[in-house]
Amino acid sequence: MKLNFSKIIMEGNIQQQIYHNKIFINQFESKNLFDKDYQQQQNQNIANRKEVKNKLINQTKVSSKKSSIQYIKSPQITPKSSVAQLKQETEIKSEMQVQFCQKKEHHQNPINLVCLSEECEFKGLLCSFCLIEKHSQHVNECVPLKKVLQALNKVNNPNTKEELGFIGCDILKQHYFLFSQFRRYITAIQDSIKSLEQAIEKKMLELRQESELFVGNLLEQSMEKLNDPNCNAETIQQELKKLFPLLQISPIQGEVQCLGVEQKQKEAERITKSAELLERECKFWMEKSLEDLKKLENNILIATRRRPISKISQSRFGKSQSGWVLSETEALTFEINKEQDIWLKGFGMFEVTSLPKDITNDRENNGSLNIDVKLFQGGNTQGKVLHEEIIHISRDLHANFDHIIEINLQKPLKLETKQKYTITLKPNRECISYFGYNGCFQTSDFKYYDSVVSKDLKNNSSGVLLGQFPVFYYEE
């Protein structure tokens, strides 16, 4: 289905205007409601005072036989209510109908709880049996439905609606940018598919023309055109192109010869093999592309249903100490030890202890330490470079109690399961830092391997059991 981006953007603008109109109407109605009720209260007070006065007058007109006037107690006049009380009086209070769980084994138990856990797959309404079966690990995040409704009623006011309206406008702006990106991607995919279709059709046409030499009377038809005295150069070029597979130059005499029976059979086999190879290549890459598109669709659905969870991997080192000389390329190969892909946000680097206090002692590098970080696809530094950036190391980067500095990349990088990656860092000058030792080849998050550094890079002589990269920071 083709997305109508103009219509989506127009609807977003309409919704934004509706937000502002509703906010203005709610504020106006709230003010009028207060003014109207306050005026009614004042009129009631005046009427009560008149009633008391009339009763007192009538009492004095009663027969003077009575020795004294019977004083009538004045009715209590309700004082003016505060704004908060008036708002509570005007709220509509309705009892919600009790709902019951539809699971057979739960025996129509009332649904009166709500799970608010971000990580729970069954987030939402539940009964007490559901709480025991599916939510026992996060009971503290399951609250009564009544409390949820009370909390929502508290924020159901014009100020909240106005705030939500502004947030909604920001979301619409973000969606517009997202739709623009999607439109560019979809256009590029459509262009690629069109180009691929043309390439396949061209190749199939060539194969069909070659096969027609061995089926039908193509040779006879071509010879009729070539023997025609009025045949022009363009026609000769086209017909010779069809007959090239039947021609060869004798290696001894240098004369042009037509293929014999044996050579024709070999040419026919070549054409058949070419068609088979084309079919295999197209099938492999088409199926892979369809799988990738299906995976993209699933990931889009998953991304809209859950919030990314930031995590820190388990450290692969047992201990750390100072004295590591970092001068050349430090490399580590790793693989995700999980069933799902992750987004790599950054990595841990051990604290540098030789940062100069005064740049006058390090004029060559202006007193700065810059780290060239690269991420390669595969188990060595000869693979495809997926990402590269320069990171500035300064005294403002504080290390934790394990002497580890958190280095964040400019943007998260998608890493696939069952795929090896190699990360490297190279300083612009020699420095001394902490380092880890007693490393392990596998943690709960990653598997680690010794890297193979290409000849154009000088290895810093580290590996899985010793060196840098103690932890990784990622989202899943």
Q: Does position 376 have pLDDT exceeding 90, yes or no? A: yes
Confidence of residue 72 (pLDDT cuts 50, 70, 90): very low
351 and 409 in a single domain? The answer is yes
351 and 241 in a single domain? The answer is no
Give residue 113's domain range: 104-154
How many domains does the chain contain in total? 3
SS3 content of the chain, % helix, strand, coil (to 5): 45, 20, 35
What are all long-range contacts of 301-307, with beta carbons under 8 Å and residues at least 24 apart?
307/118
Give the pLDDT confidence score for residue 21 in this predicted structure.
57
SS3 205: helix
Instruction: Name the pTM for this structure.
Output: 0.52
Give the pLDDT confidence score for residue 120 in this predicted structure.
86
SS3 403: coil
Give alpha helix (H) positions in 113-215: 128-134, 145-154, 158-211
Which comes out higher in pLDDT, residue 408 or 227?
A: 408
390: number of Cβ within 10 Å: 10
298 and 415 in a single domain? The answer is no
Residue 187 lies in a domain: no
Residue 447 lies in a domain: yes
147-200: pLDDT as tens digits: 888 888 887 777 777 777 777 787 787 778 888 888 888 888 888 888 888 888
SS3 60: helix
Confidence of residue 128 (pLDDT cuts 50, 70, 90): confident
351 and 468 in a single domain? The answer is yes
141 and 285 in a single domain? The answer is no
388 and 254 in a single domain? The answer is no
Residue 318 lies in a domain: yes
Nearest alpha carbon to residue 328 among 372, 359, 360: 372
CA angle 69, 73, 78 (to 5 degrees): 155
Backbone angles phi, psi at 47, to 5 degrees: -65, -40
Which comes out higher in pLDDT, residue 357 or 254?
A: 254
Residue 124 CB-half CA count within 13 A:
3
Can you read off the two tokens belonging to residue 177? 């940018």
314-369: pLDDT as tens digits: 999 988 899 888 888 999 999 999 888 899 999 999 999 887 654 445 555 555 78
Mean pLDDT of the chain: 76
Give the pLDDT confidence score for residue 170 in this predicted structure.
79
Residue 28 lies in a domain: no
Residue 160 lies in a domain: no
Contact, 218 vs 212, CB < 8 A?
Answer: yes
290 and 373 in a single domain? The answer is no
